[in-house]
Structure 1
Amino acid sequence: MASVVCGRLRHMMLWSLADVERAIRASWGADTCAPEDIPDWHRGNPARGQCGTTALVLNDLLGGDLVRGDVHRDGEWADYHWWNRLGDGVELDLTREQFASHELVGPGEPVPRPTGHTRLDTEYGILRERVLTHLRR
């Protein structure tokens, strides 16, 4: 069982990777989605638009690197996709299933964690709080 320590809690809490994944998937909503993806977000594809916020929350809980790759839609660059690379080199992408067959994600490169104000601060804050609430139960 993998354990996860959340450094912002006052006491050490241990969760399995399955616990973390369940908490994240249960916490997604239109209000945690990237604004440009809200028109395409629905309960049938709850991972849509969740990659940036999810990658940041996983980075909070698991550490490692943030990874970013280009997304091409019908052969044209459309956006970036974010996921995580853990300390042992394992890549963890809980939102890859959001993409349709005409959307391709290229190879990723580690990127520094954004600092200061970002366009997803509100969505990230909502997702982070929901995930921590699920994990504390």
Structure 2
Amino acid sequence: MTSHFESPEIFADALKTAWSINSSTSWTAGNPAKGQCSVTSLVAQDLFGGEIVTTRTKGGTHFYNVIDGRRHDFTISQFDYEITFDDTPSSRAEAFTDTSGQQYAALRQALGLQTDASTR
């Protein structure tokens, strides 16, 4: 898991410019985190390990990560309301039902990461 992202906080900053319409069809310039939760949770797990977890929101299932026992919701800025976290265990397979291989590859590429199908 070697990368130029030394911490989840550095990764979070990089996401702001990496997200695009190519990584989520819900993306907008006004709300770049919108629809990015599943693809972002997958790439975060590639980099930092940990678990992918979910919670229910008004819009459906929301994916995020628990890394070293700490919750990291890299896409929380997409919500204009407070959410209650369930921390329901999930999986890569479940996260991939909410995104595509092309969106996953696009986000990895935008972050300067090699696209490696074995991480799927």
TM-score greater than 0.5 by the shorter chain: yes
Q: Within 5 Å, which residues of 2 pair with 1:21-40?
A: 21-33=12-24, 35=25, 38=26
| Shift of residue 125, structure 1, vs aligned partner | 0.9
Are 1:91 and 2:77 counterparts? Answer: no
Partner of 1:58: 44
Code of the residue aligned with 1:79 in structure 2: it is: G
Any idea what SS the aligned residue of 1:31 has? coil
Choose 1 or 2 for highest CA Rg: 1
Any idea what SS the aligned residue of 1:60 has? helix
Q: Verify the 8 A CA contact 1:64 1:84 in the aligned structure 2.
A: yes
TM-score (norm 2): 0.78
Pairwise CA RMSD: 2.2
TM-score (norm 1): 0.69
Structure 1 or 2: larger strand share? 1
| Shift of residue 106, structure 1, vs aligned partner | 4.3
Alpha-carbon spacing, 1:14–1:98, altered in 2? closer, same or farther (3 Å):
closer
Partner of 2:107: 127
Are 1:100 and 2:80 counterparts? Answer: yes
Structure 1, unaligned stretches of length 5 or more? Answer: 7-12, 73-77
Distance 1:131 1:21 in 2: 11
Deviations 1:50-105 (A, max 9, x none): 10110000000000000111112xxxxx311000001x21011110110123x745
| Shift of residue 14, structure 1, vs aligned partner | 5.0
Deviations 1:15-46 (A, max 9, x none): 3223322222221011111x4xx2xx321211
What count of residue pairs does the alignment treat as equivalent? 110
Code of the residue aligned with 1:61 in structure 2: it is: L
